[in-house]
Chains A and B, each alone.
Chain A
């Protein structure tokens, strides 16, 4: 028994992981979530703004991290739409533009009263990493002369009088790395005292904790943060309960749970084998 476990083909582990993830997805299982105070803080930062506030939606992620970050980005977009906030979308990631577009598609599909140019605008992608943030906070026109479709900012009602982003009421940043949350904190939130909330990956979240609560109001960490935000959002706006695409994060928590439990089982099993070998002097 011990020998067969020592020489266990790793493909069995791959198969176990496949089943641990696939079964909850196929069975569409969901588990209860408890909303943490941190997520409530993030929610309140959006909720407590007066209706029609200006919110910068900086979505700095790409398809590789979309599995973890897209549900929280869509939850933020829906929440801002419910509050009728004016949304300014932008991204510092080359592959982030289609991610922004998918959020705009949600506005077009689910909030038809939302009008491009008066309720939301897509500033698109610009090269220059944190340099873009630095310029956008002091002189937006130096870096953005038009929106993503090439329309001059002077011809868009929302941006006609917008000189820089320092007067934004809130920055919502969904960040998968660099440039991302850290750069927004360093070049926009802190120097211009703009309230900022962040959604980030599980790997990236621990490094952002030192910024809370002074530089960041709060953060959503990984799919767990997204699931809790979705649950709280549905609690406040029950009409979302009928919308399956607004519960993507909640659905993804089930495979995450089974995968985590499998990981713990494998670590324990590996250690049992290790100590058995040690005892036998192998």
Chain B
């Protein structure tokens, strides 16, 4: 039963979506299915929040390694949830002066606005920016011209790294920008060739491969051949 019901839901939803694409009369069935999916996706946030609390509180109560970070996560989650749902610090809108809760949670100066702009935004940007340091360190220690494939990768990397900045332009600006073959040695044109020819061909092949894989896997799910997504119980 635990496997049959979810399988039937997945299979019927999948068949409806396929039918909606081929038979005009069933288009509205597909819309209903998508609407249900949107509602379920909203509930997934609640499950996600509950799971985050459960995992981290377990870690704190058992004093597992890094439990302090888990505590920070729980506190940050609860504070953000409280100020967002409670619309803390918002001011009533001019249209609804007697209904303070009508104000948007992300109103300028509200607590949620403050948390987002002065905590989440800089932290998220910092995490992303830190990649530059680790990539630089990894480039120094690991990017070696060990074999012909690695040499090709290195040369392409240099061209793209230079071509995607003004350095490439400055270095190759002396090459005339005309229709002759040598004009393709200009950094911006060389980068363009790599992106428009080699990258395009490779990505197109990958994309077609993935699409065929998705079709085949989707059919397996709809037909019930593959039930691994239901778990092992």
Residues of B within 8 A of A44 (CB): none
A177 within 8 A of B: no
B149 within 8 A of A: no
Q: B165 near A210 (CB under 8 angstroms)?
A: no
Which B residue's beta carbon lies closest to that of A207? B203
- Once A267-B139, A267-B157, A270-B139 are accepted as A-B contacts, the answer to whether A63 and B125 lie under 8 Å apart by CB is yes
Binding stretch for chain A, among B4-12, B36-44, B60-68: B36-44
Binding stretch for chain B, among A75-83, A138-146, A232-240: A138-146
For residue B191, give the distance in angstroms from its CB to the closest CB of chain A: 9
For residue B3, give the distance in angstroms from its CB to the closest CB of chain A: 25
Which B residue's beta carbon lies closest to that of A222? B164
Q: Please, how many angstroms separate the alpha-carbon atoms of A225 and B95 in the complex?
A: 41
Q: A139 near B139 (CB under 8 angstroms)?
A: no
Interface of A is mostly: helix
Residues of B within 8 A of A254 (CB): 166
Q: A36 near B188 (CB under 8 angstroms)?
A: yes
Which B residue's beta carbon lies closest to that of A256? B165
- Once A10-B137, A64-B128, A142-B31 are accepted as A-B contacts, the answer to whether A131 and B37 lie under 8 Å apart by CB is yes
Residues of B within 8 A of A66 (CB): 121, 124-125
Q: B41 near A129 (CB under 8 angstroms)?
A: yes
Q: Among B45, B154, B200, point to the contact of A127 (Cβ < 8 A).
A: B45
Q: Among B45, B104, B128, B140, point to the contact of A267 (Cβ < 8 A).
A: B140
Residues of A within 8 A of B133 (CB): 13-14, 17-18
**Besides A95-B124, A142-B35, A260-B164, 10 other CB < 8 A contacts?**
A10-B137, A10-B141, A13-B136, A16-B136, A32-B166, A127-B42, A128-B42, A143-B35, A206-B195, A270-B143
Chain B residues proximal to chain A, CB less than 8 Å: 27, 31, 34-35, 37-38, 41-42, 44-45, 93, 102, 104, 106, 113, 116-117, 120-121, 124-125, 127-129, 132-133, 135-137, 139-145, 154, 157-158, 161-162, 164-167, 169-170, 188, 192, 195-196, 199-200, 203-204, 206-207
